[in-house]
Amino acid sequence: MVFGRERVEYKTPDQVRLMRRAGLVVADTLAAVRAAARPGVTTADLDAVAAKAIDDAGAAPSFLGYHGFSGVICTSVNDEVIHGIPGSRVLAVGDLVSIDCGAIVEGWHGDSAISFVLGSEGALDHKLPDGDLVAAGADLADIGLVRTTEAAMWAGIAALASAKRLNAVGQAVEAAVEMAGQFQGVEYGIVEEYVGHGIGSAMHQPPDVHNYRTSGSGPRLRSGMCLAIEPMITRGGAETNVLADDWTVVTDDGSRAAHWEHSTAIMEDGIVVLTAVDGGAERLGVFGVEPVSLG
């Protein structure tokens, strides 16, 4: 590996392939956790599902023990933005749940997050018609937040395909959030205190990846960079605080939050989403971007 002036870690194709393996473990684990989410299930129950999925895959969890964190996944509910600790909290119909997961394969990390609204039978597919979602117990304002946050993440990822500088990601994310808010007639908050990051032989690496416009242009994008794009959006203000457990980040105003994340690699001939089963093909296709094959 090679390090640039900012200590950015540039991966070889073989190292990216190992990260792809870690990314697929994360994707499978998130799918298992999502399938297990039901009213009456605790966040500790979901953590146990994740632990088994990662162990069965022969991988190791990125989060467990990280600076003392006690969970395999982060489980953040309703006004909890990120870093929620799995425990005795019982999930209920209408909860907005965000799950963040990381896994390590042969020393290389994958990191991804999803958000969903819990219906009477489990996690709801936010792509379903609004009437079906309401009938299942969802608040359409929460569904709009989940859709907006996911769409903003994909806009940021797609920007990597043609941008020269990293700040294009934040510009794309903020523009997508603004457009969705105007269409829906709401004003969303973009959390600025927490951002995306580089990822590779460590879970968190330079550079920071902002989810909003900044005055500078940011580092130059280069082949071998691997970045975690992760917008955190609220139905209210962008200000947050940390609970007494020193981990759980909540919105100051009590508004609900959503969090989506994917780890993405920049290669010589394009980009590929390491934590998406299809490499990002379906959602990037909307932007005219085709992910590259890792062979």
CA distance 114 to 37: 13
Given a cut of 70, whether residue 3 has pLDDT beyond it is: no
Whole-Å CA distances, 92 to 49, 78, 222: 18, 11, 44
Residue 2 — pLDDT band, cuts 50, 70, 90? Answer: very low
DSSP states of 148-179 as a string? HHHHHHHHHHHHTTT-SBTHHHHHHHHHHHHH
Mean local confidence (pLDDT), 102-121: 98
Per-residue pLDDT reduced to its tens digit, 184-209: 999 999 999 999 999 999 999 999 99
Residues 6+ apart with CB under 8 A from 215: none
Q: How far apart are CA 19 and CA 104, in angstroms?
A: 8
> Is the pLDDT score of 19 beyond 80?
yes
Res 6: pLDDT: 58
Alpha carbon 204 to its chain centroid, in Å, reads 14
Is the link from the previous residue into 207 a cis peptide, with omega within 30 of 0?
yes
Q: How confident is the model at residue 216 (pLDDT cuts 50, 70, 90)?
A: confident
CB of 110 within 8 A of CB of 222? no
For 208, other C-beta atoms within 10 Å of its C-beta total: 18
Question: What pTM was computed for the model?
Answer: 0.96
What distance lies between CA 143 and its chain's CA centroid?
Answer: 16
| Measured distance CA(200)–CA(216) in Å, rounded | 25
- Average pLDDT over all residues of the chain: 96
pLDDT tens-digit profile of 44-99?
999 999 999 999 999 999 999 999 999 999 999 999 999 999 999 999 999 999 99
Q: What gap in Å lies between CA 141 and CA 139, rounded to an integer?
A: 5
User: Whole-angstrom Cα distance, residue 225 to residue 291?
Assistant: 15
Q: Report the distance separating Cα 6 and Cα 1, nearest Å.
A: 14
At 5, the pLDDT band (50, 70, 90 cuts) reads very low
User: Are 15 and 28 contacting, i.e. CB atoms less than 8 angstroms apart?
Assistant: no
Q: What is the pLDDT of residue 235?
A: 98
Other Cβ atoms closer than 10 A to 135: 12
| Contact status, residue 235 vs residue 245, Cβ threshold 8 Å | no
Is the pLDDT at 150 greater than 90? The verdict is yes
Query: How far apart (Å, rounded) are the C-alpha atoms in residues 239 and 205?
Result: 24
Q: What is the DSSP letter of 66?
A: G
Q: What angle (nearest 5°) sits at the alpha carbon of residue 74, between those of residues 72 and 219?
A: 105
Overall residue count recorded for the chain in this entry: 295
